[in-house]
Structure 1
Amino acid sequence: MFWIADQKNSQSVEQAQGQIYDFFLDIVRRYQPEKALDEFKKLFIDFTAVKYLGVLEALDRIVVAYDENEFHYTLKRCCYILVNNWSVVNSQVHVQALVDLFLDPSLDKKTNSAKLKTLRLWIKNFVNSESYQTLKLFTLRQVGGASLKWSDRYTSYLLMYQCADVNSSKEQKQVADALARKIRTQFKFDLAMYTSRMRPMNRPWNSWENPTSLGNNVIQLVKTMLTKRGSLSYRALADNFIAKSSQLDCSEFKLELCAYLEFAKEDPEISEAFTIQLFEKLVDFQCQFDDRPVTPALMLRICKYVITCVTIDEKKKPAPLFSVLINQTNPLYFVVILLKLVLLCGACQSFLDVRIAELIRYYSQYSEAECRPVIYFLDMLNVAFTIYTEEIRYNLVCMNPNIKAKTNKSMTSLPLLSLGEYRIFSQVRLGDSVTS
């Protein structure tokens, strides 16, 4: 009997939620943003009649059911119904207005209504929740790209985390994915413009802003990455390993994967320790498949496991190997490891984004000064993945004919000391046009 009553109550709440969602889907498409925002305020902040009285009654049923979690989910999804549609028409100012509504002074006013007290308490709890902080991500880049803290510079990863969260509504996933892509596209464009317009130190600086915190070192980083795009490029290494893996069983693949990821020439001591520790973790992973061929699905599972081993563990704390790679060697070697994994198995890219987001969420509690090695790593990661995308084509052009004559075409033997004689030129594809 009690179970039947609970089931009926659950169905009533679900029906009420559907009624509210339909209401906001209707008004956000038919009304101007100001009007839709006013209807949102009437319902959730003032708890008064909106255009359709039935919607107020629907919210009343959710409050009477006294299920704060369901209210929280209802409120959050309504927010993203609005944000998703406003983002399409570029009404970002109204997204900020929506976020500000939750700080309305009326929420602190005294009331004799038990229902209104409950509603206001739940609204305040929402403001103090992670869901509200997540909603604020969609307002960070409205005023000159200003950010409140260092982690805000990596919003695209935090947005991708929302896309992968099973608790995110479809509207939240859609708007998060769209904004993340927009931010990454802008970063690629800014990096291309900055690096291609930089001049030697004895000439005026260009006016384009550096999108990283690496300073002028980003120029050297881009040049270094470009020298690895010849016959021995990371992409070529990945293609060779993929071809080779078709002849390996799972146990052999795990051993060869460790060799594929090592960076012995640059830092042999740390590289050897990393390879040994990684192999020790891989030995027992999916060992029931050790004598079987490596399928794409199995390769994906192994690559995801390696990403977990070198980023963040199940307790949402940095893995031991992450600390080693960040603090005891050049972070660029760590970036190359992750780049090699994604080039080997592109399907693990989204998984890597989520793990990086979890690292950012963990370190965001610390100051920028305390997180300097992590920030350098994140900026290097963004630059490296930008170099290996198809939207932008980077090229190194030698400005010294004497050096040019001695340099082979692949550039894989180009001495680092001579990189100062080279300029970066880039082509950015915007729609059907190309900007150099």
Structure 2
Amino acid sequence: MGATTLSISQEYPLCVTSNFKQQDVQFAQEEIYNFFIKIVNQMPPDDVLYKFKTLFIDGLDSQDYYSIPGIYKIFLDDKEHEFSNTLKRCIYIIINTWKTYRKDKYIQKLVNLFVLDNLNVKVNNFPEINICKSWLENFINSKDYQEIKLFSAKHDELHRGHWANRYTSYLLIAQSVNENNPREQQEAARKLYIQIKDKFKFDLAMYIARSQSAVSSTTRYKNPSILGDNVLNLIKAIVLRRGMFSHENIANIFIKQTQEQTLEEFKISIEKYLFFSVDNQELVNTLRQQFAENLSLWKKDCNQEIITKELFLRTCNRVIDCLTTENGKEPSLLFILLLTQGHSLTLVVLLLKTILICRNSRRHLEIQIAHLISYYEKYPEDECKWVINFMEIFNITFAIYAENVEYNLIKMKEDQSSNPQLNLDSYRVFSQMKVDRQK
């Protein structure tokens, strides 16, 4: 059977036949990936865009069968899935490199290539062209393309539209650990996640500083949360838990005291640790009973094993599951119970205390949060106010306890009360970036 030569460049020729075997497809894919890895690191962005458009888009509005981009001919033997994966990975190879060199405006141009009017033109003379166009249109309408658009949006644009857009960073975490995604997508998602989280922490610190100063309101930083100015009292209440009975110190004591325990003993200890100092005793009794029953049934056959680092991590992950989602789809009963009764801060503190004893569970927690957002995003904002309130408190609390930001509460004036929480106006919050002494 005759062969058609597909010349990506003089350095990367591909031979395309009408009957491509799977090993040939894989070889062609690697050639395509290597081509884009090379040009995105060597060519100006406009030239890269031209090459990309030539390979994947130009020719699909033609009346001539022979003008079909050669790349499509590799996949015409019923391999739409392989085509989509190839296209997606090529896009992320470009995005990942341009993100590294902060060429964000070109990422926007890349995404805009897929909204050209000529992509909507139907050509009926040649079924093969219609197939190629349908594949591209299916890609544009896919979740994959919606995820790609996140990388082209400006920071303030990420928060527009649907309420769940405010929590894009958690969806990026889910992308970054999904092994079904190409490694370039995972890396790009990781970078954008860090960028969004760092900006939130910076904006929060600057808002706190400006909102407590006498400077004109025109110079104030925008509140990065949607809780209004009441967020200051929330922050003060959270930061008050410092000193001898701070969450960090209690967490360190717990870690030392539970060494060499069996799993059964550890389950009892972590239950006591989590619910220690929760104010509402009636709520505590209900929660503890449900939590204890749930955790006691987990890995019951391993109850007599001594806690290892791995078992410690898995137990903390299980605690997070009990408090968020146990199947990665629907919210857990404890999650619903706490939030519907207005105890968002209590839930956040329980999750925080879990992370303080096992920081390696942080990624698992963020993935579970992403699952919850995916579950609730199909509901309108009015029906999700309690979930949104939880997310805002969660973001603020974990920003306060982030490793590279330090918050301190300083009493500015004396009051008659011995309980500082009764007059939070007497205090001011100060934040500063921690110095990395290892550098």
Give the match for residue 45 of structure 2. 33
Q: For structure 2, list consecutive stretches of 5 or more residues without a partner in the other structure.
A: 1-18, 61-65
1:87 aligned to 94, 99, 102, which one?
99
Give the match for residue 191 of structure 1. 204
2:55 aligned to 43, 56, 67, which one?
43
Q: Give the SS at the match of 1:423.
A: strand
Distance 1:168-1:430 versus aligned 2 partners, 3 A rule? farther
> In the TM superposition, what whole-angstrom CA distance separates every residue of 1:138-171 from its partner, at most 9, and x where no partner exists?
1332566652222111111111110111111111
Distance 2:258 2:171 in 1: 34
> In the TM superposition, what whole-angstrom CA distance separates every residue of 1:225-278 from its partner, at most 9, and x where no partner exists?
111121111111111111111132100111111111115641112221111111
Give the match for residue 421 of structure 2. 416
Give the match for residue 3 of structure 1. none
Q: Would you say how many aligned residue pairs link Structure 1 and Structure 2?
A: 412
Distance 1:180-1:74 versus aligned 2 partners, 3 A rule? same
Distance 1:202 1:84 in 2: 41
Q: TM-score, normalised by structure 1?
A: 0.88
1:286 aligned to 299, 317, 322, which one?
299
Give the match for residue 36 of structure 2. 24
**Are 1:13 and 1:65, in contact at CA under 8 Å, matched by a contact in 2?**
no
**Are 2:20 and 2:74, in contact at CA under 8 Å, matched by a contact in 1?**
no
Matched, 1:208 2:213: no
2:395 aligned to 374, 382, 393, which one?
382
**Are 1:187 and 1:211, in contact at CA under 8 Å, matched by a contact in 2?**
yes
Distance 2:435 2:420 in 1: 34
**Are 2:208 and 2:429, in contact at CA under 8 Å, matched by a contact in 1?**
yes
Give the match for residue 187 of structure 2. 174
**Are 2:89 and 2:182, in contact at CA under 8 Å, matched by a contact in 1?**
yes
Distance 1:393 1:184 in 2: 15
Q: Which moved more, 1:240-249 or 1:261-270?
A: 261-270
Distance 2:195 2:204 in 1: 14
Q: Which moved more, 1:12-21 or 1:97-106?
A: 97-106
**Are 2:55 and 2:70, in contact at CA under 8 Å, matched by a contact in 1?**
no
Distance 1:143 1:42 in 2: 32
> In the TM superposition, what whole-angstrom CA distance separates every residue of 1:158-195 from its partner, at most 9, and x where no partner exists?
11110111111111111111111111111111101111
Give how far 1:370 is off. Answer: 2.0
> In the TM superposition, what whole-angstrom CA distance separates every residue of 1:30-50 from its partner, at most 9, and x where no partner exists?
1111221122112212258xx
Distance 1:123-1:283 versus aligned 2 partners, 3 A rule? same
Q: Give the SS at the match of 1:82.
A: helix
Distance 1:201-1:318 versus aligned 2 partners, 3 A rule? farther
Q: Give the SS at the match of 1:293.
A: coil
When the two chains are superposed, the root-mean-square deviation of aligned CA atoms in Å is: 2.5
2:286 aligned to 256, 270, 273, which one?
273
Q: TM-score, normalised by structure 2?
A: 0.88
Give the match for residue 15 of structure 1. 27
Q: Which moved more, 1:96-105 or 1:203-212?
A: 203-212
Distance 1:144-1:305 versus aligned 2 partners, 3 A rule? closer
Distance 1:47-1:266 versus aligned 2 partners, 3 A rule? farther
- Counterpart AA for 1:418: N
Distance 1:183-1:315 versus aligned 2 partners, 3 A rule? closer
Q: For structure 1, list consecutive stretches of 5 or more residues without a partner in the other structure.
A: 1-6, 408-412
Matched, 1:129 2:142: yes
Give how far 1:206 is off. Answer: 5.4
Give the match for residue 16 of structure 2. none
